[in-house]
Amino acid sequence: MVLLDMTVLSVAEPDLTHDFGGSVAGLQWAVTGYTVAFGALLLSAGAASDRFGAHRLFRGGVAVFGAASLLCAAAPALWVLVVLRAVLGVAAAACVPSSMALITALYPEPARRARAVAVWAAVSGAALAAGPIAGGLLVGLAGWRAVFLVNAPIAALTLALVRGAALRCRADASRRIDRAGQVLACAALALGTDAAIAGGGRHWAHAAASLAVAIATAWLFARRERRSSAPVLARAVLRAPGMAGMLLAGAAVGFTLTGVLFVLPLLLQQRLGYSAVGTGLAFLPMTLPTAFNPLLTGRVVARTGPRAPVLAGLCLLAAGGGVMSGAVWTGAPYALLATGLAATGFGVSLALPALTTAVITLAPPGTAGAAGGLLNAVRQFGATLGVAALGAFTTVSPRLSPAHSDPRTAATLLLAAAIPALAATLPHPARNP
């Protein structure tokens, strides 16, 4: 439910524009309002899970997510939806690390835990990629509000399934949370996102002001982190050999996947005339690999380690973006676009499970929870930047024929290809952890 909501709104973008009006910037905030809060709060959510008990944080997060989803479905204006999407992001941040902590408690034996974590990562990747199909079917059936209404019964079912005493974790009242540092992290990410979105709308003074304040806030955050006894960023995790490369790879996956899922629905629906259902079905080549390939990836990681699947996944993401760019640039038939989508789906389903395993394995003893939270946070940072950066070059233009080239969108997709290609060249562990 939490990961699906990152991408399920993509196919609803034209329907939102029809109801509320607005610009591409408004649509960007409808998406990034969620990922900004989600990504920034994930930095401290692991500590909050330890302090208050993972079972409490998980149940509370699911309950708030279900209730806020109902409010989103009733939103009377786009700005209200953006605010409520941020509330959803807060609830999502409470759910993700606490779910990992609950898995750790349920599976104390390392081999079984590794399989459980692989399933968790597989479900997460599948949910991300399934968003366009689920969104297309829901929007086609009952409009964009149905995208949020469906969360309420899922949340209720989840709460019913986690009522037992078996799902209970010890609370550690001594675990400290740097609230001021967390606020600064949220502010820096939100202001940086605002600068990118304003720049894409050619509002240069607004963009410059937001960027200047974002840089100042980031400096204050870094200064506080150096002095804090309970830093938001786990220093021991960041210093682990090979960790930086894996975290940047996670950000690259989020950048490309979420950025593509923002740009392509606008192209398919508003410029090529696809319906919401047709747009969702057009993403099937990307979705299908995420339904079965993560299980194969888990076996590959168990035999060879995570390094090779991570690099292979990044290369496939880069190739997929390049093929989609070529298809849009030349106005080629859908088959070529589908080839790029399939490569992207295989890239995501290779990279995400392997990255989860790599980061948890590379983390120093006793910091696996913090490492998992940090990976999820940088994935959301990448997703936020992907929507902001790729959306900056996106316009709502007159309708094209399917065979008509679209150089602007093609260049945008080429940027989506370049980021994972760059991440693949960065230093990774010299050997598999």
On whether the CB atoms of residues 35 and 384 are closer than 8 A, the answer is yes
Three-class secondary structure of residue 78 per DSSP: helix
pTM: 0.80
> Which runs of consecutive H residues, i.e. helices, occur in 143-283?
146-149, 151-161, 179-200, 204-227, 235-238, 243-266, 276-282
Query: Phi, psi (5° rounding) for residue 244?
Result: -60, -45
Kindly indicate the confidence band of residue 317, based on its pLDDT and cuts at 50, 70 and 90.
very high
Q: What is the mean pLDDT of residues 168-181?
A: 73
Output the CA torsion sign for 221, 363, 294, 55.
negative
On whether the CB atoms of residues 230 and 47 are closer than 8 A, the answer is yes
pLDDT of residue 160: 92
On whether the CB atoms of residues 131 and 140 are closer than 8 A, the answer is no
For the stretch 13-27, pLDDT in tens is 778 888 887 667 788
**What Rg value do the Cα atoms of the chain yield, rounded?**
20
The answer, yes or no, to whether residue 405 has pLDDT greater than 70, is no
The answer, yes or no, to whether residue 171 has pLDDT greater than 80, is no
More reliable by pLDDT, 303 or 399: 303
For the stretch 82-136, pLDDT in tens is 999 999 999 998 988 888 878 877 887 877 877 787 777 777 767 776 778 888 8
Kindly indicate the confidence band of residue 9, based on its pLDDT and cuts at 50, 70 and 90.
confident
Token pair recorded at residue 363: 């983390």
The answer, yes or no, to whether residue 433 has pLDDT greater than 70, is no
- How many CB atoms neighbour CB 46 within 10 A? 30
- How many CB atoms neighbour CB 340 within 10 A? 25
pLDDT of residue 280: 85
Residue that has been written with the tokens 């065979």 in this structure: 403
